[in-house]
Structure 1
Amino acid sequence: MREIVGTYNLNRQVAEVLREAIQTGELRPGELYSVSRLADQMKISRTPVREALLGLADTGMVRIERNRGFRVIRRDPRHIAEVFHMRLLLEVPATRLAARHAGPELLDALRHELAQMRAAATDHDEVRFMRHDRRFHELVLGSGGNALLTTTVGGLRDTITTVGASTVDQTRSLADIATEHEPIMTALASANEDAAAEAMRSHIAHTAELLLSQVSAENQTPVTAADTELIRDASP
């Protein structure tokens, strides 16, 4: 567990350290952890650790056990499958629509975001990368003029981020993720609706499959046919 540097936004720093430890497996699902021990490792008082844990408990990442400590909650494969099922149902047709109406302004904006993703990948800056990744998808979704659609998909992405599910440096690199966006960009630039929709479907479905495999290994249970079918059923 890394130490906290400085006291600015202490609770946020602690939450980020704990979330990172959960994502990397340093804090493992099901095991009981002591608040005081974590505070000692980070060289801070217990109060900010408790407050950070309360926030993570609200998001479903941990469960606090009174007078005992806390446990990391096992990620639910079904929940992940359902979120990506929804993303496929919404983002694939939205990408088809974007290809139909993509003009120079949208294409330039998408190229900028993809270039920024590549630069962040080179610097191995995951936070910056994901900011531009998210913006790329928002531009595609927003091209149809439906703000509710963009907000809804943003909420679905937040759901996955909140539970600490990520493929970065586990089953693919930031550069790999950037590369998956290139066929989407190419198809949009050529106004090829079918290719754009398929490229987005492939990207989102691949992310879902990788996450399901990771969570399956983490929980030591196989990926169920029902979860796999949810992803396949959302494909055109």
Structure 2
Amino acid sequence: MREIVGAHNLNRQVSEALREAIHTGELRPGELYSVSRLAERMGVSRTPVREALLGLVDTGLVRVERNRGFRVVRRDPRHIAEVFHLRLLLEVPATRLAARHPAPDLLDALRGELAEMRRAADDRDEARFMRHDRAFHDLILASGGNALLTSTVAGLRDTITTVGASTVDQTRSLTDIAAEHAPILDALAAGDETAAASAMRHHVAHTGELLLAQAAAENDAPVSPADTALIREGPHQATILPI
């Protein structure tokens, strides 16, 4: 866990460090941690650590165990499956629609975001990478002119990010993730609706299945066939939604 340097925005620094440690798996799901132990590791007093942990309780990342400490909550595989099922229902047809008449400025913007993702991957800067990853998806969604669609998918992504679920450096690298976006862009540039929808479906479903497997492992249980089916049996033909 990274040590806190300086007192500027101390509470925020501590909260971000704890969230990052949960996100990367340094603070393991199911494990119990004391405020004093975490404060010592970060080189700060107990007060900002306690306040940050109480804030994370509200997000569902940790829970309080009276007179014992804070336990990192195990992620719920079913919740992950349901989120990615919804993402597939929304993003796959939106990508097919975007490929129908891809505007040159959309393609230029997507190329820029993918280039930035690759640079961030080379720098191993996950936070910067994820900003451009999100922007790539948002551009495709927004191209249909439906702001509610874009914000809905953003909310679905946030529910996964909030609970600290990530595949980065656990089952794939940032470079691997960037590579999954290239076929989406290529198909959009070619105006190939079927290939674009298929590439988006592969990317989103692959992410969902990896996170599902990680969550199941955290819970010391096999992946539920029903949860896997919810992701795998998403929209294969990608019917166009009215956007």
Same structural fold, with TM-score higher than 0.5 when normalized by the shorter chain = yes
1:186-205 counterparts in 2 under 5 A? 186-205=186-205
- Give the conservation status (yes or no) of the 8 Å contact 2:24–2:166: no
- Give the conservation status (yes or no) of the 8 Å contact 2:4–2:42: yes
- Give the conservation status (yes or no) of the 8 Å contact 2:171–2:210: yes
The answer for unaligned runs of 5 or more in structure 1 is: none
User: How many equivalent residue pairs?
Assistant: 236
Give the stretch that moved more between structures: 108-117 or 34-43. 34-43
Q: Which TM-score applies when normalising by structure 1?
A: 0.97
User: What is the CA distance between 1:213 and its match in structure 2?
Assistant: 1.2
Over residues 102-144 of structure 1, what are the superposed CA-to-partner deviations in whole Å (9 max), with x where a residue is unaligned? Answer: 1111110000000110111111111110000000000000000
Counterpart residue number, 1:99: 99
**Distance in 2 (alpha carbons) for counterparts of 1:115 and 1:32:** 40
User: What is the CA distance between 1:32 and its match in structure 2?
Assistant: 2.0
Percent identity over paired residues:
77
Structure 1 stretches of at least 4 aligned residues deviating more than 3 Å after TM superposition:
none
Counterpart residue number, 1:174: 174
- Give the conservation status (yes or no) of the 8 Å contact 2:102–2:189: yes
- Give the conservation status (yes or no) of the 8 Å contact 1:101–1:143: no
**Distance in 1 (alpha carbons) for counterparts of 2:101 and 2:155:** 25
- Give the conservation status (yes or no) of the 8 Å contact 1:141–1:149: yes
Secondary structure of the residue aligned to 2:82 is helix
Q: Which TM-score applies when normalising by structure 2?
A: 0.94
Counterpart residue number, 1:209: 209
**Distance in 2 (alpha carbons) for counterparts of 1:143 and 1:2:** 39
Secondary structure of the residue aligned to 2:64 is strand
Q: Give 1:8's aligned amino acid.
A: H
Counterpart residue number, 2:150: 150
Over residues 35-80 of structure 1, what are the superposed CA-to-partner deviations in whole Å (9 max), with x where a residue is unaligned? Answer: 1221122121111111111221111110012332110010000000
Counterpart residue number, 2:37: 37
Counterpart residue number, 1:225: 225
Secondary structure of the residue aligned to 1:168 is coil
